Homo-oligomer: A and B are copies of this chain.
Amino acid sequence: MSSENAIGVFDSGLGGLTAVKEFLRVLPHEKIIYFGDTGRVPYGTRSRDTIKKYAVQDAGFLLRHKVKMVVAACGTVSSVAGELLREQLPVPYTGVVNPTAYTAVRVTRNKRVGVIGTAATVNSHSYRLRLNKLDPTIQVFEQACPLFVPLVENGIINHHDIITMSVVARYLSPLRENGVDTLILGCTHFPLLREAVSDFMGKGVRLIDSGLETAVYAAKVLEREHLLSRRYETPQPEFFVSDTPDGFKSVAGLFLGRDMEHAVTQIDIEAY
């Protein structure tokens, strides 16, 4: 495996681009190949077996590009199919759950940690299990926020918007009442609601962004495996999707936080 091979990142759709944004910042000399399964999004409401099948196909597509590492930038996949991928893949794998849980355990002072995500992520209890494996004394408060993804995808994210803030209040009131001092944003869409969530939870609550923690963790893994790129330049990322790429640029720009000037290619994911 060459250290100049790409890092493969995939997500059920385009939300994982918030993680790519952090990868480009933390690992600027790495080539990133991204696959967004826009033809089969969302995964969060599907059955566990379906999610596993899709995750294996997604990783299979990235392996064809000889990636040196596979990253599931998707709370749902990491929660439901993480163990399966770690066992089956011939290259290092990380999801978003483990790196994020490590950081939450390190930063919490009162040992009360909140976790928000899709229904599938929360119902899997993946974050709670991992947090309690790292520190059994931590109290974990989980909350599914199924309306957050549609809010983000429809751009209703402003912290002065009554819709945004009443949805935020509905979901997060129990966490605030339970006095968590650390809150895991356990879905790649959620960083776009960071300001609204932070306004509601208060400055004393530390928000943990799963995309950033995963990029930092991936850097450590690549260093340990002597797989960090030795490039000086910043390679262009490559993007693949499974539905037609109409409208990809505007949505991708939203998640990446910058204008998209990269080509995007449609593939048939069922073939992998």
Indicate if the CB atoms of A47 and B244 lie closer than 8 Å: yes
Segment at the interface with B among A102-110, A145-153, A254-262: A145-153
Tell me the nearest residue of chain B to A119, going by C-beta.
B154
Distance between A201 CB and nearest chain B CB, rounded to angstroms: 18
A166 to B49, CA, bound (A): 37
24 A-B pairs with CB atoms under 8 Å apart are A39-B50, A40-B40, A46-B243, A47-B243, A47-B244, A47-B246, A49-B244, A50-B243, A50-B244, A146-B150, A146-B153, A146-B154, A147-B147, A147-B150, A147-B151, A147-B154, A147-B156, A147-B163, A149-B150, A162-B162, A162-B166, A163-B166, A163-B167, A270-B270
Specify which chain B residues have a CB less than 8 angstroms from the CB of A39 in the assembled complex. 46, 50
Distance between A97 CB and nearest chain B CB, rounded to angstroms: 22
Interface size class of A (residues with CB under 8 A): 20 to 34
Specify which chain B residues have a CB less than 8 angstroms from the CB of A150 in the assembled complex. 146-147, 149-150
Specify which chain B residues have a CB less than 8 angstroms from the CB of A244 in the assembled complex. 47, 49-50
Tell me the nearest residue of chain B to A151, going by C-beta.
B147
Q: Is A170 an interface residue (CB 8 A)?
A: yes
Specify which chain B residues have a CB less than 8 angstroms from the CB of A162 in the assembled complex. 162, 166
A137 to B67, CA, bound (A): 60
Specify which chain B residues have a CB less than 8 angstroms from the CB of A167 in the assembled complex. 163
